Structure 1
């Protein structure tokens, strides 16, 4: 396991695409969840944060279970229960999958091909794409901070309520007890917000970098037998690339593609639980927002913003997964267009055919292997949310 500190930060910041990972790295380091070779103290703090959220979740979920007869209140509390669970799962993944994620980051740092391989027009387009994703995440983060501040202060300023409606085995409304619990829940809510956003920054930038690596490979493969390939080889391998033959370059491309497939599979195995929880949270949040909008018009602005925020987050996740799937599948078209038929080397042709067959299977991120992370899943989640809303609406109407 490598120590991803100053050297890693300097290297990625000098890359016009990888540099957008730095903010997620900063937030995860603040939460002691960055997958680097750190001391025992930092790891212990990270697990302490996780246990803190687990305690909050227990009392919060207990309130939801005890008040299940009040469907409207239970639905609202259930939405925040799932959000806290989302933060817990993300903490657990970053802490328990440290070594795997560390290996992925080391490969991204040391072995990914630079974006300078592309021509200036394509390079600018790719850089703008990465920049857009970063600023979109930053807007979500800023909005969630403003929203959480409102959520944290409103109970205290209005009627001395707790931030998370919870069921404690004691009277929490006593002097000093309430203040202690309020400060504790304030800290815990900020922990939830920061962890969710830190994970989003990190995960989205990592998926975006892998997607862009596929785009770079498309360019390299399409021109592997042309004059442009000489420039590609020199940019990627330095002086060694000047004397590299077509067969040697093809071997490097095969190795790069194999490594990229391995990284995408490791990403899926590491983060598929987080994607599943993301789907569950968005379904619960949409149901809660739609039910509240119908039966409590006084919270129209709050719940509409809440629903739009969760839908935007879900769409952003599905967009990242769809892009990776699309670009990985397009690689076979670029390989076929590489003018491979002009080569009379039989081994070269066999390797090209093998590459085409292997790249026809798209790389997909999944929700625990149940559904893919793509636009089709986005539509399915919307339909599922509406189905649950219709069911809850029927229960509330009967009451």
Structure 2
């Protein structure tokens, strides 16, 4: 690939990461911007990230302390479960924030490697159509996922204000409440501390959402691109030895053997890239799989019991279902795309090739028997079956929790 083509590829890739970069900038991280070179810019970037991480850590610590206190001092299931889904969400957000920062150079390198594989010279109608559809669906998915999360956090942030105004209009006693269930090392009911606590909780919720969106949009974008490249590879493989729908004897010539070798090398590069991507996201995927069932269970329980927060919790439920659904969907898409390479080889004109070409294609078929897949830190593969398992587990947890509640 020429330098001009690589610049064009980077521009197209960075365009697909525009929303991701917008979110990560809010917490002091960027994978597409030029890295700061002067000392002041570097210090500012570090301080911005440290401030964001500290706010999210303090918010999470306050929530955990509140939940533990309720567990020790109260026998009420409702009070204990009230904020567990937010604890789960913030735990995932904090883990993703730290992962993005710790592996920021790895993600930058992966984006640079992706530019070498990016299809910039394809003029074929079918190839262009695959690329266009993939990028269009990705853009729609990014928008709606961001919409759910941003709308959800602002519903939580504004709900105490709306309740306060409503009670004022009704003429009933009204106090500005709090957004989250947090413990503080001071009396948060005092006038000045009350306002400070409210502002802290507002900003903490926003930081949590930026962290979640930045990591998840990065994952879905890169996974979508690998899936697109695998499908373009399948198209190229199917056309080996065929022309205008009819099979011709092409593989007997040395130049077509080299074409097969080129396809095999591209396949191997995609496999290596997919494995590197899986390693980079394996810890984040583990956190998602472990906490998603608990989050969904707890928020459904709160929807049934808290009418004031029901709307906010419903949007949280939508965000939680979308978040884990996106993880499983794109992981399953890569699994399907990589396993489809073997079918593409079988559907090519291999039967008209010479023995040397057939052996080369057989190696590709054998390698495709072990498709790419994402894992939860190597414990289990992630596919759409994982999504159904998470939903089933969530329902089981909810049934147990509700049974305990009604028996009290």
Give the TM-score taking structure 2 as reference length: 0.84
Quick one: which of 250, 272, 278 aligns to 2:288? 278
Quick one: which of 132, 135, 138 aligns to 2:137? 132
In 2, Cα distance between the equivalents of 1:176 and 1:293?
32
In 1, Cα distance between the equivalents of 2:384 and 2:222?
19
Greater Cα shift, 103-112 or 127-136:
127-136
- 1:286-332 CA distance string (max 9 Å, x none): 21222223334554444333323322222222111111111110001
Contact 2:134 2:228 in 1 (8 A): no
Quick one: which of 44, 48, 51 aligns to 1:48? 51
Unaligned runs of 5+ in 2: 37-41, 165-174, 245-252
Contact 1:273 1:367 in 2 (8 A): yes
C-alpha distance 162-296 of structure 1, shift in aligned 2 (>3 A): closer
Say if 2:383 is the partner of 1:374: yes
Contact 1:340 1:349 in 2 (8 A): yes
1:1-399 alignment runs, 5 A limit: 11-14=9-12, 19-35=15-31, 38-39=35-36, 40-41=42-43, 42-68=45-71, 69-114=75-120, 116=122, 119-121=124-126, 123-156=128-161, 158=164, 159-226=175-242, 245-297=255-307, 299-346=309-356, 348-399=357-408
- 1:329-377 CA distance string (max 9 Å, x none): 000111122222322252x332211111001211111122223221110
Greater Cα shift, 168-177 or 382-391:
168-177
In 2, Cα distance between the equivalents of 1:395 and 1:160?
32
Q: Displacement, 1:244?
A: 8.9
C-alpha distance 372-160 of structure 1, shift in aligned 2 (>3 A): same
In 2, Cα distance between the equivalents of 1:251 and 1:322?
28
Query: When the two structures are aligned, how many residues end up with a matched partner?
Result: 375
In 1, Cα distance between the equivalents of 2:184 and 2:219?
35
Q: Displacement, 1:226?
A: 4.0
Q: Displacement, 1:132?
A: 2.1
Unaligned runs of 5+ in 1: 1-6, 229-242
Contact 1:148 1:189 in 2 (8 A): yes
Contact 2:282 2:377 in 1 (8 A): yes
C-alpha distance 44-35 of structure 1, shift in aligned 2 (>3 A): farther
